[in-house]
Amino acid sequence: MRLYLLCLLMSVFSAAAHAAIVQQEMRPGIPASAEYLIGQRSKPAVLLLHGFLQTRDFSTVTALARGLQDAGYTVLSPTLSLNIPYRMQSLACEAVHRHGMDDDVAEIGRWVDWLKSHGHRSIVLIGHSFGSLQLLAYLSSHPDPAVKAYVGASLIEAQIGEMSRPDLIGQLENRIQNKQRVLVTQTLSFCRKYTSTPEDLLSYVRWDQPRVLSALRQTPVRVLLIMGDADSTLGRGWLKVLQHIRIPMVVVHRGSHFLDGEHEFDLLDHTLRFLEAVPQGASR
């Protein structure tokens, strides 16, 4: 028993020695943080992004991060600031949201730069849910050549409820053109009442299914989607649409949106198989 406890303590201290919380200033007065799990230099580094309004401590993300590190991969798991300094908690739907897709994409780029500055020349982007969408948006806007591949788990479009998307886009564009600064409350993703500026809300609303599909087709890196066939949050027919455009995809039988429980092993296993084929690049 003493030997077992000693080994357990050694493994805990070893893991702690290979983990750190790192920080960057995203915009003036807006610092953000990420967990940096150090793996083998011979393997690509992973940038792992959480879902909508969540943090890196979300269960799906933390389980995947630990599994990847155990397999020898370096993992950087940022928490998007959402324009809140040192944000450490999920943001409520009812809060006033002053962040948009452009901010998210810029922060992803800053964390890619951080990995490069620490010697990583082969980087894989992995996202869950809306995080998959945000990473796809990054890949659509001059991604760094160090990014070699992308895994989208439970990829969704920006959902807006029952309202006509063209009507909503028209209303938001009119507000912007008329310089109306009044906040707008609208369904977005899992939030029934999401309050934001017209500009920021519009930056998300524009990411409908056709735009997501177009971005997938044009992505300049290797792609894998991992989806659950019991995901009740997906739009009607979304899995069939994804299958139709022949994007590499694995469908987890009975997997939920969170790919949790027994399916977290499916998520890790499919991700590891994909990573084995990613070019390693050079590290210093």
Q: Helices (H) and strands (E) in the chain — how many of each?
A: 9, 11
Look up tokens 């369904």; give the residue: 187
Q: Where are the domains of the chain?
A: 9-157+207-275, 159-206
Which strand (E) or helix (H) includes residue 34?
Answer: strand 30-37
pTM: 0.92
Note the pLDDT tens digit of each residue in 143-201: 999 999 999 999 999 999 999 999 999 999 999 999 998 999 999 999 999 999 999 99
Tell which residue, 166, 180, 173, 178, has the closest CA to residue 201. Answer: 173
Note the pLDDT tens digit of each residue in 101-125: 999 999 999 999 999 999 999 999 9
Percent of the residues in the chain that have a pLDDT greater than 90, as a whole number = 90
Does the pLDDT value for residue 282 go beyond 90? no
Q: Contact, 132 vs 108, CB < 8 A?
A: no
Q: Which CATH class is domain 9-157+207-275?
A: alpha beta
Helix (H, G, I), strand (E, B) or coil at 274: helix
- DSSP class of residue 221 equals S
Q: What average pLDDT score do residues 75-92 get?
A: 98
Q: Contact, 143 vs 111, CB < 8 A?
A: no
Does the pLDDT value for residue 13 go beyond 60? no
Q: Contact, 37 vs 57, CB < 8 A?
A: no
Tell which residue, 163, 127, 111, 159, has the closest CA to residue 48. Answer: 127
Lowest mean pLDDT among 16-20, 75-79, 128-132, 237-241: 16-20
pLDDT band at 18 (very low <50, low <70, confident <90, very high): confident
